[in-house]
Structure 1
Amino acid sequence: IYFGAKLHRPRLIGAGCLIMAVGSFCTALPHFFQGPYKYETTITQSSEKNLTHTMLPCQKSCEKAAGSSLWAYVFLGNMLRGIGETPVMPLGLSYLDDFSQEENTALYLACIQTVGIIGPMFGFLLGSFCARLYVDIGAVDLDVIAINHKDSRWVGAWWLGFLVTGAVMLLAGIPFWFLPKSLPKQESKNSKKAVNDFLPSLKRLFSDSVYILIICTSLVAVSGFIGMITFKPKFMEQTYGQSSSKAIFMIGIMNLPAVALGIITGGFVMKRFKLSILGAARVSVTTSLVSFCLLLTQYFLQCRNAQVAGLTVSYEGLPEVSYEPETLLAQCNTECSCSLKHWDPVCASNGITYANPCLAGCQTATGFGKDMVFHNCTCIGEVPILPTNMSATLGQCSRSEDCDKMFKFYMAISVLGAFVSACGATPGYIVLSISSDLKSLALGMQTLIVRTLGGIPPPIYFGALIDQACLKWGTKRCGGRGACRLYDTDAFRSRFLGLIYGLYALSYVLWALLYKRLVQRHKKKAAEPEAVNQEGNDDSSKNTQDETGQEPEKETNI
């Protein structure tokens, strides 16, 4: 990044787009090298269409998963995308900053960030579309697939999004190769000293206490944001009963436009009131605190756990939360030799979900694929509420209408909080008060540190903490623990939101220290002109005395 500021920045950005495109294509490769996806199920189809056995099929042998080493392609693809992304924003923003008038910089930055939101918005919409498509679409007969996109075992066409975005990035990088190296406003710079000046510039940069506080504040805040945005669809899915595709769609169609509007509003405020660095810091802190208060209210917008027999409610319908697999057994299914590990949920006519048809005590079934209906389910009769029949259908039961209303309140608060928080994005960037010759290096190092330490670890420790709230784990094809199928929503909410609250609270403490340091620097800079003026007055007085012929009191003999 440092050398990029001395070289042809638009072409470096174009090269970065090309590298990102290659990384996206590389990430999608595992789908074409591994076999078809086989989801976890206890149901086997017999030769007769209208007959289904609810018994776990016998596996004579267990072959090693074909994709055990394909993670290397994903790792390489993410690494290439990270390398390619590095020069785009730092060099692009510094290129803009160098050739724009100072009073227009904030508005231009807001416009770029706002347009930049369009990309993630379409990305979420594309992700929602791909999530509704089966992972092996075009390669398997979808009529025999007994799950839909609302099922936790569903895997969408994740690879399709990487192919589309790779093609878009490849096309987007072409115009940058034809932009000039400099615009009329830029003065000539000597690039021969770039190598020799790098280490001193790096040392000067990291000796700035304000810059260190900026990095620490950004690192903590980004960690909370990355953890939140990574597991927000899962939170919406588990807490409010929304499908993953709908959760991603709602984020893309509602939250991101609010973010775009907030960014452009913050840039307009900076231009309209011509705020200084201290003013920008006040705006950024204020908007962050208001959005944090809105985030706190989300803790109280809760729904009760999904009613799953033996996990969240008893087989009699009484409230119960248990982490022991033995609770899945009851008197109505003890003689069925049911599997306790596998997750193949069915929704009974009494509104309760059972982990699989066998645990529901179902004896017969009709239909095929997604249309299968199970009959004579003995466990359904354990609930004191008289059911209309003793049947069950594939999939989990839907949440209550009250939960849908709560989800609407949640989305309203979420969208408002996204708007308020985004209003402080442009002022937050202006706080980066580094001298112009180090701006590219400062942005580059900040991007590297924040993206690495704030982007990679949070999903790991967020996921580890959230997994402690799991009530039912899935089972891999060759045994072992798979993905979590059902969470205790109260524990999920407490761990997920609690960790976000802790990280954001720490970022505000760092913001307070940063603001205090900015005030001290501002006072110091304000005092320097007065000292210079005073010194200038003293020199003028001495010169006047010399002109009158009077000698100074002290002389220096050489």
Structure 2
Amino acid sequence: MAETFEDRTKMTSQQALYVSNGDIRGKRRHGISTLKMFIAALSFAYFCKTLAGTFVKSAITQLERRFDLSSSHVGLVDGSFEMGNLLFLAVVSHYGAKMHRPRLIAGGSVLMAVGALLTGLTHFFMGPYKYDTVIAAFQNDSMSTIACLRPENDVSHEIGRNATQACEKESSSNMWIYVFLGNALRGIGETPVTPLGISYIDDFAKAENSPFYIACIQTIALLGPVFGYLLGSYCANIYVDIGFVDLESVTISPTDARWVGAWWMGMLVSAGLLFLASIPFWFFPRSPDLEEDKPASEEEIPKTMDSTKPITEVAKGFLQSLKDLLGNPVYLLLICGSMLKFNSLVGMFTFNAKYIEQQFGQSASRANFLIGVLTLPAVAMGIFLGGVVMKRYKLSVVSGAQFSFAVSLGAYLLMFLKFGTKCDNIPVAGLTVSYNGTPGALHGGQTLFSECNSNCSCSAEHWDPVCSDSGITYISPCMAGCLDYSGYGKKTVFHNCTCVSASYPAGSSTSVKLGQCPQARSCSRSFSSYMAVSVLSAFISSLGITPAYMVTIRCISPHLKSLALGMQTLIIRVLGGIPAPIYFGAFIDMTCLQWSVKKCGGRGACRLYNADMYRVVFLGLVSGICGVSFFFTFAVIILLRKQFQKEEYERCKKQINAKASKDVQGVPNNGFAIERITSEAVEDDHKVVQKVEAEHPVKKSTIVKVTHLKTSQSK
């Protein structure tokens, strides 16, 4: 009997409701092994889905350039994942808990694989990638034409006619829609994985082990972004049309603003991994404590998992469950705070690699690699240690919320150091400096033209940058006033550039080479400081992720757990995941100095940003939105403390009433709820007595009487 009671105390509340004493020993071993296998499978599914999602984030600049989109436009494409997710999230979260959860997760993984496959196949529906360059016009047509085009020998009209014909024949101008749809399918498929998987574990794991299991899953899941960024780094260094073009003829490098990597390759890899992740879930039982092929009796299945009821009867409880959930003020405040933090996180996560590219002059490959090997492992370690701390010290709901608030605030204050890590704008003639080298953002237009190139038929919309020995970049050889060239492909060098000679000491080189000039050496030190602060702040902030997650789960009723997690995911993605990339991208677009022009007209992708404005806008948005979220988190702590104190007070009063039901050393208590006055009374009991005395003066007089009588007896 004692063994049976001990076994039952180690079970979850859900299991204790429907497993009889005789069945505990026979089913416990199978249940634990099945649960651990489920945790392993769910961890791999998390790994695959986060790898695919992270790869899309790492390929933002590649998609932007390949489809010639602005930052706000590509933010809309990125937000399609959240749009697909919200379509079915609330329904799946509520009704999924009453169905076969592992098989729903399996179906969702297959759908994610289909979405990733559709995104990757878009590349094969398009023609070869074409970028603006004068080299193709001069060399492919075997024309011996100088870079600075004279009116009498102008090929720009011919190039314009070819561009018009290409516009009429271009069938890939709207191919980004397939990427949009593929992302949306991934979002729909991801719907059952998080709410059903986490609730499945929390239902059947012991209460003290649940935070540790969830922390392990989240830690392994963060390996997905690590490998996602590493895969993005590898693919970004490979030319998009590899295998279809002669790489020797490609005149741009990975650091060029026109470079596009093999983004489609990573999507095909992600599709294969997601399909593999779906396989184990088809074979898991509905409950880890029941044999898959054994019919469960009504007593063995909890009500929250009863599928014998008709769907109409189940639907009646949805509105009532939703009302109960939204009537919880702690949950509502948590949702508001999480939504703001998610806005900040999504904006940072989406455009962080691009920020590193534009601010510090790094290639997309290097930016993705450093984020993958430095920042994300620190986040994974922080999440794991946060779960260990909560398990080791058995933090309560209030303590968990306070711990999460403290570490998040520390990381937030540390983030302000990023404002001091900066690089100056690259000197670009007519955009960030004048043609004589005077700094200052000039915002293009007529400032791109000068006396040195007035005799040339140059286009202000053309972007084919060249670098002079003075460190000044010109947006094209024509704008540099170059009269001759030599070499082939990437080794092409332009000579006798009139604008270079005008701003350089006499007798110096007047030649320029292809590509944008690199950043100054001091910029590398700023970049190292930026990465150090990013890694440290990410680690500190991630310590509070697991405690905050457990606060959300424990502040609601057990039967509303799946719905609460689903609604939280729905709300923060509707109000954070969808709009954040769009308005972050819109603000970033405001800092653009030079835009590309599409073949059929209209603004394309940005070629050059104002680095100072970019830094203030990007980091300002991240820190501003995150700062507002702390007000909601602080309010949650206050409500939880009041709620906890009230519950503790009621519990102590019940204990006092139970003790007061007996006489205090033979003295009747006259029915009053008083504490036993002995030398063994603990400090907490004295505090409760003081509260009772303050609220009930009659009881106070009785306690004093009993104390006086006890003192007399002791004498």
Q: Is the 8 A contact 1:474 1:483 kept in 2?
A: yes
Q: Does 1:3 align with 2:3?
A: no
Partner Cα separation in structure 2 for residue 6 and residue 174 of structure 1: 22
TM-fit CA distance, 1:524: 2.2
SS at match of 2:208: helix
**Structure 1 pair 49–257 and aligned structure 2 pair: CA distance change class (3 A):** farther
Once the two structures are TM-superposed, the CA of residue 336 in structure 1 deviates from its matched residue by 0.9
For residues 318 and 75 of structure 1, the distance between their equivalents in structure 2, rounded to whole angstroms, comes to 44
**Aligned residue among 272, 284, 294 for 1:167:** 272
Partner residue in 2 for 1:183: 288
1:193-212 matched pairs, under 5 angstroms: 194-212=314-332
1:154 equivalenced with 2:246 (yes/no): no
1:267 and 1:201 map into 2 onto residues whose CA distance is 29
Task: From 556, 568, 573, give the equivalent of 1:451.
Answer: 573
1:100 equivalent in alignment to 2:205: yes
Could you list the per-position Cα deviations for residues 307-363 of structure 1 after superposition, in whole angstroms to 9, with x for gaps in the alignment?
111111111112121114211111111111111111110011111111100111111
Contact in 2 for aligned 1:309/1:353 (Cα 8 Å)? yes
Give matches, 1:74-113, under 5 Å.
74-113=179-218
State the match for 1:21 in structure 2. Answer: 113
Between the aligned partners of 1:196 and 1:363, the Cα distance in structure 2 is: 79
Structure 2 match to 1:554: none
Matched residue type, 2:559? D
Residue 647 (structure 2) pairs with residue 525 (structure 1): yes
8 Å contact kept, 2:211–2:546: yes
**Matching of residue 318 in structure 1 with residue 438 in structure 2:** yes
Pair 1:136-2:256 in alignment: no
Output the CA distance in 1 between the equivalents of 2:582 and 2:525. Answer: 32
Measured after TM superposition, the shift of residue 86 of structure 1 is 1.3
Which residue number corresponds to residue 449 of structure 2? 329
- For residue 376 of structure 1, what is the aligned residue in structure 2? 496
Whether the 8 Å contact between 1:311 and 1:322 is mirrored in structure 2 is yes
For the Cα contact (< 8 Å) 1:50–1:365, is it kept in 2?
no
* Equivalent residue letter for 2:634: A
> Which amino acid in 2 is paired with 1:169?
L
- Name the structure 1 match of 2:45: none
Counterparts of 1:534 and 1:103, CA distance in 2: 28
Task: State the match for 1:284 in structure 2.
Answer: 404
Name the CA distance, whole Å, in 1 between partners of 2:129 and 2:177.
19
* Alpha-carbon distance in 2 for matches of 1:296, 1:374: 44
Sort the Cα spacing of 1:352 and 1:187 in 2 relative to 1 into closer, same or farther, 3 A. Answer: farther
Q: Distance in 2 between matches of 1:227 and 1:420?
A: 19
Give a deviation string over 1:175-221, Cα, whole Å, max 9, x none.
Answer: 11112221239962131264342221111111111111111111110
Deviation at 1:30, TM superposition (A): 2.4
**Helix, strand or coil: the match of 1:472?**
strand
CA contact 2:105–2:281 (8 Å) conserved in 1? yes
RMSD over aligned Cα atoms = 2.3
Instruction: Give aligned-pair identity as a percent.
Output: 49
2:424 matched residue in structure 1? 304
CA distance in 2, matches of 1:350, 1:110: 54
What is the SS of the residue equivalent to 1:290? helix
Cα separation, partners in 2 of 1:86 and 1:320, compared to 1, 3 Å: same
Q: CA deviation at 1:533?
A: 4.9
Residues 444, 594 of structure 2: 8 Å contact kept: no
Is 1:45 aligned to residue 138 of structure 2?
yes
**Which has the higher mean CA deviation after the structures are superposed, 454-463 or 474-483?**
474-483
Summarize the alignment of residues 152-551 of structure 1 with structure 2, pairs less than 5 Å apart. 152-184=257-289, 188-190=301-303, 191=306, 192=309, 194-385=314-505, 388-432=508-552, 433-533=555-655
Deviation at 1:388, TM superposition (A): 4.3
Displacement of 1:386 after TM fit?
5.7
User: Which of the residues 117, 128, 137 maps onto 1:36?
Assistant: 128
Q: Distance in 2 between matches of 1:277 and 1:394?
A: 60
Q: How far apart in 1 are the matches of 2:504 and 2:490?
A: 29
Unaligned runs of 5+ residues in structure 1 are 546-558
SS of aligned partner of 1:314: coil
Q: Is the 8 A contact 2:255 2:361 kept in 1?
A: no
Letter in 1 for 2:488: F
User: Structure 1 residues 169-178 or 187-196, which shifts more?
Assistant: 187-196
Code of the aligned partner of 1:200: Q
What SS does structure 1 have at the residue aligned with 2:538? helix
Shift of 1:249: 1.3
Q: C-alpha offsets along residues 487-512 of structure 1, whole Å, 9 cap, x if unaligned?
A: 11111111111111110011111111
Contact 1:40–1:474 (8 Å) recurs in 2? no
How many residues matched?
545
The worse-fitting range, judged by mean Cα deviation, of 265-274 and 387-396 is 387-396
Determine helix, strand or coil for the equivalent of 2:391.
Answer: helix
What is the TM-score normalised by the length of structure 1? 0.93
SS at match of 1:98: helix
Determine if contact 1:40/1:476 at 8 Å carries over to the other structure. no
Q: Using the alignment, how far apart are the partners of 2:220 and 2:435 within structure 1?
A: 53
Alpha-carbon distance, 1:40 to partner: 2.2
**What TM-score, normalized by structure 2, do the two folds share?**
0.73
Partner amino acid for 1:281? A
2:32 equivalent in structure 1: none
The structural deviation recorded for 1:27 is: 1.9
- Contact (CA 8 Å) 2:146, 2:482: kept in 1 or not? no
> d(CA) in 1 for partners of 2:199 and 2:126?
43
Cα offset for 1:224? 0.5
| Aligned pair partner of 2:177 in 72, 77, 99 | 72
Aligned mates of 1:521, 1:178 — CA distance in 2: 43
Q: How much has 1:407 moved relative to structure 2?
A: 0.5
Q: Does 2:150 match 1:58?
A: no
Counterpart of 1:3, as a letter, is: Y
Amino acid aligned to 1:239: Q
CA–CA separation in structure 1 for the residues paired with 2:484 and 2:413 = 53
- Separation in structure 2 between the aligned mates of residue 328 and residue 300 of structure 1, nearest angstrom: 31
> Please, which moves more after superposition, 406-415 or 321-330?
321-330
Q: C-alpha displacement at 1:170, in angstroms?
A: 0.2
Q: Deviations over 1:450-472 (max 9, x none)?
A: 12321111111111111111111
Cα separation, 1, equivalents of 2:202 and 2:545: 16
Q: Is the 8 A contact 1:314 1:320 kept in 2?
A: yes
Task: Report SS of the residue matched to 2:452.
Answer: coil
Residues 200-256 of structure 1, C-alpha deviation per residue, up to 9 Å, x if partnerless? 111111111111111111111000110111111111111111112211111111111
Q: Counterparts of 1:398 and 1:198 in 2: how far apart (Å)?
A: 59
- Sort the Cα spacing of 1:330 and 1:446 in 2 relative to 1 into closer, same or farther, 3 A: same
What amino acid is aligned across from residue 436 of structure 1 in structure 2? Answer: P
Q: Check 1:387–1:516 CA distance in 2 against 1; reply closer, same or farther (3 A cut).
A: farther
Q: Which has a greater percent of helix?
A: 2
What amino acid does structure 1 have at the position aligned with 2:103?
Answer: R
SS in structure 1 at match of 2:606: strand
1: distance between equivalents of 2:607 and 2:111? 37
CA distance in structure 2 between the partners assigned to 1:392 and 1:486 by the alignment: 19
Q: Which range moved further: 9-18 or 515-524?
A: 515-524
Question: Is the contact between residue 310 and residue 329 of structure 1 (CA under 8 Å) also seen in structure 2?
Answer: yes
| Range moving further from structure 2, 195-204 or 144-153 | 195-204
Query: Structure 1 residues 111 and 529 mapped into 2: Cα distance closer, same or farther (>3 Å)?
Result: same
Q: Which ranges of structure 2 fall in alignment gaps of 5 or more residues?
A: 1-92, 150-155, 291-298, 672-715
Deviations 1:283-306 (A, max 9, x none): 111111111112110001111111
